[in-house]
Structure formats: C-alpha cells, structure tokens
Amino acid sequence: MEKIRRKTLLYRTKVEYGNFCLNHVLGCSHGCRYPCFAMKNAKFHGWIKGDSEWWCNPKLVENALELLDKEIPKYKEEIDFVHISFTTDPFMEGYPEVKEMTLKIIEKLNKNNIKCTVLTKGIYPKVLTDKTKYGSGNYYGITLVSLDDDFKNKFEPFSPSINDRMNALKYLHDNGLKTWVSIEPYPTPNLVEQDLMEILERISFVDKIIFGRLNHNKIVSEFKDKDQFFENCVGQAIKFCKEKNIGYHIKNGTQKIYNSDTEKIFEASIK
Ligand code: SF4
C-alpha cells in the first residue's frame, strides 16, 4: 500500500453532527458511484490529481499516530469526540494496513479519554469488543442506504455485502457496544424501488440513525416528486425512531424546514 506523510491530522469538522474529525487515508477502495463526494471535493480543491482509479488506490498516512501524539494535548479541551472518518473509510475492504492503523488510532484516542464515532461501509473487526484496549463509549456506525444487492453492486461496487456489514455491526451491538446507521445518501425510486421501513426494521437494534438524501446525482434530479418523496421518508424515519426510542438526526437539506435541534446527536450522549 502506498504511504504519505501529513503535517496535521485532527481538525474541527463543519459536518453538522460532527465535532472533531480525522482522515488517516487519502482515497478509498470502495469506489462509490453516487458519486463519492469526498473524491469530488478533493478534486475540486486540487488535493488529488487523478481520477476514480487513483482514488480507489488509497494512500495511508504513515505518521498518523505521531501526529496524534502532538495534537491530542493541543485540542483535548475542545474535543467532545473524534469522527473517523468523513473523507475515507476506516475499515475499507482489501487494505489490512488501514484496519490496523484505525484500531491503533481508536485505542490511542480512548486511552486519552477521547471517544470516537466511527463510520464504515466495511466490516467491523470483533477485536473492538476487547475492553482492555477500546473504550465502551464509542459509537460504531455503518452506511446503509439499501438492502438491494444489485443497487449495492452498482453504486458501492467494491464494498462488502450488505449482510456482512450488518452482521458485523450487530455483533458489536450484541456485545454491549453502541451502534448507529447513516442512511445517507438515500436514493430516489428511479434509482432503486425499495421500502424505507424494511431498512429501518432491519436496523432497529441501533442507538442512533442519521438520514440524508442523495444529492449531486443527475438521475435523482430527474425524479419529479423528489422533494415530496424525501419529506415522506423523513416523516417515516422520525416516526420510527420515536416509537423505538432511537436517537436521530435529519441532515441539512433533506427536508424543506431544517431542524437543528438534533445536530448534537452524539455530543449529547457521548460525555
Ligand atoms: S466509502 Fe465513502 S469515501 Fe469511500 S468511496 Fe464510498 S463514499 Fe467515497
């Protein structure tokens, strides 16, 4: 695996439900075709030179742990939690070096009494249940926008199967860890016909759900009733979460009237 070195790692994120974040890999092997906003953003800012093939050949930040040693004392008072990650996948398929580094990062943050929210389309390793290394205050999440394998194979071509992803998350839940699901970017029916309730029922064991619409996609923009469709989805998701006592947040821009009350979805419970 290619390696790079960086000058900084931790940063305050602008994502509304985040606090601090780190991305210890440049690129991501999952090659999502929604499209991948992280890749688009990196291209827009000139941080990467190549196309999606380049992006799918990830580069590990080899000095990530050294950077954390310097930055944790600097930011500790400001950090409520660290999100891993918004612009790459910490448990991406096919790169054991990434998994190893992610585990070391979580361990280091937890040893410094800093909790993490983690998000992946990959498979969580069972070792995360080892309480001598990893705290029990972290929130482990997966992205899940469809139960349809054909959709997954087309839009998340190199990520693990939906069932494997969910089973790994359920294992962490069954072993007493906190879990969440990001149902984002949720597609319109002209991309995949599906019932949101089916997805919600399958993940009813989790502690938190975040729902957000798919943007920047030509086919979605062609769906005539898209705004009403997403309003209905939001209504379903909120009703479901309230009934099951699951914390939730609806991403900004998903419904007509944005409710910022639930932005602190993790902060409120993680302390
Ligand atoms: S998992 Fe995330 S970062 Fe990786 S390709 Fe998919 S959208 Fe991009």
Owner of token pair 């479901």: 240
| Model pLDDT, residue 44 | 85
| Model pLDDT, residue 270 | 64
pLDDT in tens, the chain (271 residues): 999 999 999 999 999 999 999 999 999 999 999 999 899 888 888 888 777 888 999 999 999 999 999 999 999 999 999 999 999 999 999 999 999 999 999 999 999 999 999 999 999 999 999 999 999 999 999 999 999 999 999 999 999 999 999 999 999 999 999 999 999 999 999 999 999 999 999 999 999 999 999 998 899 999 999 999 999 999 999 999 999 999 999 999 999 999 999 999 998 666 5
Cα-based angle 6, 88, 248 (whole degrees, multiple of 5):
125
93 lines ligand 1 (CB under 6 A): no
Residue from 225, 19, 232, 238 nearest 109 by CA: 19
Which residue's CA is the closest to the ligand 1 atom numbered 4? 28
Ligand 1 pocket: which of 33, 55, 89, 183 to mutate (most atoms within 8 A of CB): 89
Cα 247 to averaged position of ligand 1 atoms, centre (Å): 24
152 lines ligand 1 (CB under 6 A): no
Ligand 1 pocket: which of 24, 47, 85, 88 to mutate (most atoms within 8 A of CB): 88
d(CA 175, CA 26): 32
pTM: 0.96
Listed by start position, the domains of the chain span 2-270
Structure letter (DSSP) for residue 187: P
Q: What does DSSP say about strands 25-26 and 116-120: parallel, antiparallel, or unpaired? A: unpaired
SS3 state at 24: coil
Cα 142 to averaged position of ligand 1 atoms, centre (Å): 12
CATH fold, domain 2-270, is: pyruvate-formate lyase- activating enzyme (3.80.30)
d(CA 229, CA 55): 32
| Model pLDDT, residue 126 | 98
183 lines ligand 1 (CB under 6 A): no
